[in-house]
Amino acid sequence: MKAAVTREAGVIQMEEVPDPITGPDQVKVKIVYAGLCGTDPENLEQRFGLMPPEAYKQPRILGHEASGTIAEIGSNIRKDKYKVGQRVAMNFRGSCGACYYCQNGMEHYCREGSGATGCFAEYAVYPESAIYPLADDIPFDIAALLEPVSVAVHAIDRAGIKTGGSVAICGGGPIGLLCLEMALKAGAAKTLLSEPVPEKRELAKKLGADVVVDPFNENLEEIGRKLTDGRGFNTVIDASGSVAAAKRCVNLADNCGTILWAAVYGKDVEIGVPPFLMYARELTITSTFVSPYSFPRALAMLPKLELKPLITDIILLKNIQKAFALHKAGKSIKILIQP
């Protein structure tokens, strides 16, 4: 099969490689669309904090957001549940369901589950628990957003947004915009999105944000206070990955507010927060890590969200370098790779 392979930092190129082998408890999927995530450039450049150094010594196929059709079913998979040709979307990892973490509501920390092969390829192999059949009315491009939508579902869970509450979001990339849509669905009455790229601010406004702010040229805190009658926001979400924005979120929150860091930051960076401020204003700072127990709900939300406008580019797999260049330029929102 054809796949985009990286063998050294910053270099990704097309190669002819063997098809991944389908194990007894696995499903092989012919990829129709694969999404480019913000962590993919970090992995390509060998700076993603979760990856051990030794992992970068092996050739790798990146990509973990995808949709496609089942090409092969493992011998232990129920044939009445899945069939060749079935339309599916996928998680990039499967949990075992039996370890300490799975049995205590933390499947995202499962130590016994198995991962998928990379989806920047014609085919990828997944554990059964990572496969989600699609309804006929969900197109493949929308289905390829299932994983980021699941991240937004989990983020809203962690943020604890209440009906009638106020929400500020820093970052107008895919996760920030999905969090905006989810917050509105959850009942947020006043919403602000901060984003320096004009096209992303314009889309946020179309998706329902009450106020959009250019944080580099406007006074974010002042505009936020005006929207919330001088109080600040019940919930503040950073989806930008900027350390400065993550710290700034603390100043946007109202008393007893919740600050959610819903992005990936550099492994060694630190964000200083005055403990007296935490004491005096009774703030909560929390975070997210992937999306446990969120995929079925994310799948149910796919037809309920405005997802087409988030897909700004569709790039053929053979032009994978262009996809990474577009992401680096910063104006694209969701880039899909098409084998």
Q: Report angle CA 212, 214, 216 to the nearest 5 degrees.
A: 160
Q: What is the DSSP letter of 154?
A: H
- Regarding beta strands 284-287 and 131-133, do their DSSP bridges make them parallel or antiparallel, or are they unpaired? unpaired
Cα 338 from Cα 36, distance rounded (Å): 11
Q: How confident is the model at residue 53 (pLDDT cuts 50, 70, 90)?
A: confident
Cα 233 from Cα 169, distance rounded (Å): 10
Residue 311: phi, psi to the nearest 5?
A: -85, 100
Q: How confident is the model at residue 41 (pLDDT cuts 50, 70, 90)?
A: very high
Q: What percent of the chain has pLDDT over 70?
A: 100
pLDDT for res 332 = 97
Instruction: Tell me if the pTM is above 0.75.
Output: yes
Residues 74, 58 contacting (CB under 8 angstroms): no
pLDDT for res 17 = 98
Q: How confident is the model at residue 156 (pLDDT cuts 50, 70, 90)?
A: very high
pLDDT tens string 59-80: 999 999 999 999 999 999 988 8
Residue count of the chain: 339
pLDDT tens string 119-148: 999 999 999 999 999 999 999 999 999 999
- Sign of the alpha-carbon torsion through 90, 91, 95, 100: negative
Q: Supply 334's token pair.
A: 């969701």
Cα 33 from Cα 117, distance rounded (Å): 15
pLDDT for res 54 = 84
Indicate the average pLDDT of the chain: 96
Q: Which amino acid is at 86?
A: Q
Res 50 pLDDT > 90: no
Specify whether domain 2-145+307-338 bears CATH 3.90.180.10: yes
Do 2-145+307-338 and 153-287 fold alike per CATH?
no
pLDDT for res 78 = 87
pLDDT tens string 211-261: 999 999 999 999 999 999 999 999 999 999 999 999 999 999 999 999 999
Please state the CATH superfamily assignment of the domain spanning residues 153-287 in this structure.
NAD(P)-binding Rossmann-like Domain (3.40.50.720)
pLDDT for res 9 = 95
pLDDT tens string 253-286: 999 999 999 999 998 999 999 999 999 999 999 9
Res 52 pLDDT > 90: no
Q: What is the DSSP letter of 282?
A: T
Res 55 pLDDT > 90: no
Q: Where are the extended beta strands (E) located within the chain?
A: 2-8, 11-16, 26-36, 60-61, 65-73, 87-90, 93-94, 114-115, 123-127, 131-133, 166-170, 190-194, 211-213, 233-238, 253-261, 284-287, 311-316, 334-338
Cα 254 from Cα 280, distance rounded (Å): 11
Cα 131 from Cα 129, distance rounded (Å): 6
Place of tokens 């063998």: 7
**Helices of type H across the chain:** 39-44, 140-143, 146-159, 174-185, 198-206, 220-227, 243-252, 275-281, 295-301, 320-329
> Per-residue pLDDT averaged across 289-297, rounded?
97
Res 157 pLDDT > 90: yes
pLDDT for res 122 = 98
Domain limits, the chain: 2-145+307-338, 153-287
